[in-house]
Chain A
Amino acid sequence: MTDHLDDEILSAAIDGEAPAGALDHVASCPTCAGRLGALRMVASALSASTVPTPADEAGRAVTAALDAALSAPAGAGGEGPQTGVLVALRRRPAGLAVAAAAAAALILAAGITGALRHGRSSTLPAAEKSVSAPSRFPGGNGAENVPGALGAAPAAPAFGAPVVTGPDLGAQSDAATVAGLVRARLNSAAPAPQSGAVAPSSTDQTLACAPEAAGAAGASPTSPLRLIAPLQWRGQPAVVFVFGQPGSASGLAGVIVRRSDCGALATLPL
């Protein structure tokens, strides 16, 4: 009769997760030592293996996809610029490399840090649920499994909503003036089916600043983005962001942010 350690303990020992003293036996047991070596070989082989990394051209492809998405018309089907990015990425022009690079680019562009600063409710992030499969693991948590997921996920509330864009607001130095221009633009926007949005021009507004702008505007993390427009603010390239904010008097919250670093320059008296 033998009394060798089982794989679970030996495997955990590789990861430093074995109970204290569990490996004392290994020192004097060639069988367990051999088994530990075999399991360690597997772990090492996997750790040492490499997955092809995105090629150099992936970055250019991603940039092109993002540019195309940000300048694409948003009216059709209520598709906003953010969705346009996703559509462009779905075209997957260069396969996994682009997808991976695009993921990284978008995560960065979306301003992760800005998002992290926002709400801290205790609810499970919907996105975690959204890509789960039913009963994937026999021992898993079935409550988190929601089939069908991505298609059923709600639209991103912060900057996935219809957006009004348009020509550059010009050189400005007064927030009240900009607020007036914004109101006028919102009021004059021809309603589009289901959205009230108008197709954007080829402005180079930076959606990446949306999370930062929402925070600076005092908008809630779930406020829909209503307007983006470039302008020159006191000599600096800037972008106006306006969010729907039901709690405010006008239902709007706006801010001007510097284009280079998304730094807040002025809030709009909307």
Chain B
Amino acid sequence: VCRRITGNDADAADACQEAMIAVVRGLPRFDGRSRFGTWVYRIATNAALDQVRRRGRRPVPVDETAGPAAASASPGGPVDEQVAGRVDIDAALLRIPAEFRAAVVLRDLCGLDYHEIGEVLGVPPGTVRSRIARGRAALVPLLAGNPTPSHDRPTPRP
């Protein structure tokens, strides 16, 4: 979680340590209202987001040498495998807003359901659903090789 949200090893290490400290300090006060894993995810996510905020990080330009994935993907394999193998996931994640990034990471990397993510982020499940959708939508062009993220796809609804 820390690695994917912060996007680099150094910040992730700091966030991880702070999360660990918070976990150790908070263990006696863990009240069991939520699952322990959810509680730890919440601490780790907040620590990572704190780290991002402290660093004042902004979306980092994608290293052009890292992509585009789809354009260079060779045929013959599942597209997701090709993408996962070629694209710099971190670079793409760093180009979307942190609140979307956290939701997507918790869903797609950690496998939490919407309710659990809501607990972790302190938002309603509907907000989680929206953030995940917007995060994934923003990642589509990035993982497909389009360097311009589209955070809000024009929805072709009436």
Contacts and interface: CB of A to CB of B under 8 A. Distances in A.
B94 interface: no
B49 A136 contact: yes
A86 B158 contact: no
Interface in A126-145: 126-128, 130-133, 136-141, 144
A153 B25 contact: yes
A38 B139 CA distance: 10
A42 interface: yes
Interface residues of A, number: 80
Nearest to A148: B50
A46 B104 contact: yes
Nearest to A10: B133
Given A39-B140, A95-B9, A136-B53, A131 B18 contact: yes
Contacts of B108: 42-43, 46-47
A107 B19 CA distance: 11
Interface in A101-142: 102-103, 106-107, 110, 112, 115-116, 118-128, 130-133, 136-141
Counting chain B CB atoms within 10 Å of each CB, the highest count among A46, A49, A90, A116 belongs to A46
A222 B28 CA distance: 7
Nearest to B1: A51
A92 B12 CA distance: 12
A221 B122 CA distance: 26
A26 to B, nearest CB: 14
Given A12-B129, A96-B16, A103-B16, A2 B156 contact: yes
Contacts of A120: 31-32
Contacts of B89: 45-46, 49
Interface string B67-81: 000000000001111
A156 interface: yes
Contact of B133 (A7, A107, A133, A149): A7
A8 B129 contact: yes
Given A86-B21, A96-B13, A157-B28, A1 B53 contact: no
Contacts of A57: none
Contact of A49 (B16, B109, B133, B158): B109
A248 interface: no
10 contacts: A17-B113, A38-B140, A47-B108, A125-B30, A127-B30, A136-B99, A138-B99, A139-B99, A150-B22, A156-B24
Interface of A: 1-4, 6-8, 10-12, 14-15, 17, 31, 38-49, 51-52, 82, 85-86, 89-90, 92, 95-96, 99-100, 102-103, 106-107, 110, 112, 115-116, 118-128, 130-133, 136-141, 144, 149-150, 153-158, 160, 211, 221-222
Rank and list the top 9 A-B pairs by shortest CB-CB distance, nearest first. A127-B26, A44-B80, A11-B133, A46-B108, A48-B84, A103-B20, A141-B122, A96-B13, A158-B28
Interface of B: 2-4, 9-10, 12-13, 16-33, 36, 39-40, 42-43, 46-47, 49-50, 53, 78-81, 83-84, 87, 89, 98-99, 104-105, 107-109, 111, 113-114, 121-123, 127, 129-130, 132-134, 136-137, 139-140, 143-144, 153, 155-158
Given A128-B39, A156-B27, 11 more contacts: A49-B109, A96-B13, A96-B16, A107-B20, A119-B28, A130-B22, A132-B46, A136-B99, A144-B122, A156-B24, A221-B29
